[in-house]
Structure 1
Amino acid sequence: MNGRESWYDDDAGPLVRPFTVTRGRTKASRTDLNMITMVIAAPGESGRGLDAEYLDILRLCRSPMSVAEIGAKLNLPLAAVKILISDLIEGRYLLFSSPMSSYETDVPDMNLLQAVLDGIRRL
């Protein structure tokens, strides 16, 4: 493998890192986090004593950032990022705001949608 260890793939990078970063956990304790959940560092939190990945997240979240953006910037899978963010929320290092689900928002009027569709078909 050109002197590289077997846990490294040239295209994918380190293959065990997300597993080790989350300490083997595969599920976040907060189930209400999704890709567009916005997080921000809690006021006055330095994160002193936290692991490097947690500190990276806190630094990124000095201004509001979505879970997906954090994953992209850290080059980690979304599942791993959600676990780390969940830990920080539980430790009160991060504040979060999840978007309302479709059950909490108004459902569009089906008659209006049908009228729009009919109008488009007539074009």
Structure 2
Amino acid sequence: MANNGLGLMGALKTRMHWHQARQKLLAENVSNADTPRFKPHDLRAPSPAGNGGVTLAQTSPMHLGLSGQQGGFDSRDAKRFETTPSSNSVNLEDEMMKVAQNQSDYQLAASLYSKSLGLMKIAIGKGR
């Protein structure tokens, strides 16, 4: 079956649902910042479906290995060392940064979804 652009719409819709669920979870982390023994939670991003099995090839032994590890430091997956005396490990600054980034990413996905709908309307002759 040919990809007629509806796959993009489905992927954007899935991404928006994920951002909504993540925003709810991040809000719960912030609201429980003073709850004793509360551990913050986060959602793993949805994996892209149907990537076609495309993988990178190591064409020279001088190339970096294909272990799947990213180079550099990724602060999103850093282990948190701060805990309060009540064993609460919510860092409000980190959580609020995640909330702001999540909101921005949701707005981007929603904008792309809206633009795609507009293009589809133009394509069938119902737009502008």
Q: Which has the higher strand share?
A: 1
Flag whether TM exceeds 0.5 (same fold): no
TM-score range for the pair, normalised by the shorter chain length: under 0.3
Q: Which has the higher helix share?
A: 2
Q: Larger relative contact order (C-alpha < 8 A, sep ≥ 6)?
A: 2
Q: TM-score, normalised by structure 1?
A: 0.23
